[in-house]
Amino acid sequence: MKVFGRFNPFDFLCLLVVLIGLLGFALAKAGYAGVDQAILGPAKVNIEIYFVGLKTRDPNIFKEGDKSALTIRNQPVEPPMTITKVEHWPKKIAFPSADGKKAIAYDDPTNPLAHDFVVTISDDAERTKDGYVVRGQKIKVGNQVELESFNYRVQGVVVNITGR
């Protein structure tokens, strides 16, 4: 069976594959592919991770100077990163004030083991025009990440990234 009187279906499919390949090559050369991320240079980054309502009896679970492994999109980032700063406060609950015009925060009496943390970790990264890349993984505000050490494995969200 011939298509357009000259090609059989197998020849037509082969020609189509070659044309799609050439189109992909041309688009990649023109800069429309995501694989050609230009690295603008190395950078030291501080990544702030927010943990909401972490239930622990030890509020000093994160210690400055300790190493902790980061997991981004289920991909572990090796070797572990250094914790450079820890902020901690008991979990708060909001109540309206007596006049009803503002909210007042109090420690949550129903959940005394819950704590909120902002943990800052530091590491080397590569800077691209699209953001920072930490050992092959893009890191952006809003990423769900895991921090793991000998005593914990907790999930949090990236709230800030600063380059140094």
Cβ neighbours around 134 below 10 Å, total? 19
pLDDT in tens, 118-147: 999 999 999 988 889 998 888 999 999 999
Per the document, the length of the chain is 164
The distance from CA 134 to its chain's CA centroid, rounded to whole angstroms, is: 9
Q: How far is CA 10 from the centre of its chain?
A: 45
Rounded to an integer, the average pLDDT of 100-128 is 91
In CATH, 39-163 is 3.40.50: no
- List, in sequence order, every beta strand (DSSP E) within 8-55: 39-55
**pTM for the structure as a whole:** 0.74
Give the separation between CA 72 and CA 37, rounded to whole angstroms: 19
Percent of the chain with pLDDT over 70: 91
Task: With beta carbons less than 8 A apart as the criterion, state whether 123 and 48 touch.
Answer: no
What is the reported pLDDT for 8?
Answer: 78
Contacts (Cβ under 8 Å, ≥6 apart) of 76: 69, 70
CA nearest 90: which of 110, 74, 72? 110
Cβ neighbours of 121 (radius 10 Å): 25
Longest Cα–Cα distance in the chain: 86
